[in-house]
A = this chain, B = another copy of it.
């Protein structure tokens, strides 16, 4: 292979990505929370159907904060430190976009799944 042009290419934003991010932002939009709590809150909000582990939540929290979507403050509770995260205005806007996108995608898939059932009396 010509290793001449080994520099760039493109991203791979599979149309199904970013769901954990969506759930995190949406859950935090109901009120300030800390990571450990968030993990359980998401589990609860989805009827135990979806478990976003700590290995997903913490990195996402940091990334979202450095992107200005979240704001954090440290709080000492019972001698233990908790880092509370709150959604910023920018985060709210971003969340709205994610929700719209999610709905668009799932509508489309729902349509493909249910829509125009198979021909005639089936085959």
**A101-B110 Cα distance, complex, nearest whole Å:** 13
Write out the residue numbers on chain B whose beta carbons fall within 8 Å of the beta carbon of A47.
108, 111
Instruction: Return the chain B residue nearest A29 by Cβ.
Output: B118
Indicate if the CB atoms of B109 and A50 lie closer than 8 Å: yes
Report copies per complex.
2
Q: Is the CB of A45 within 8 A of B102?
A: no
Cβ–Cβ contact A86 & B19, under 8 A: no
How far in angstroms is the closest Cβ of chain B from A60? 14
Further pairs besides A42-B112, A50-B112: 12, Cβ < 8 Å: A16-B17, A19-B109, A30-B116, A31-B118, A31-B123, A45-B115, A46-B108, A47-B111, A49-B105, A86-B123, A102-B113, A106-B110
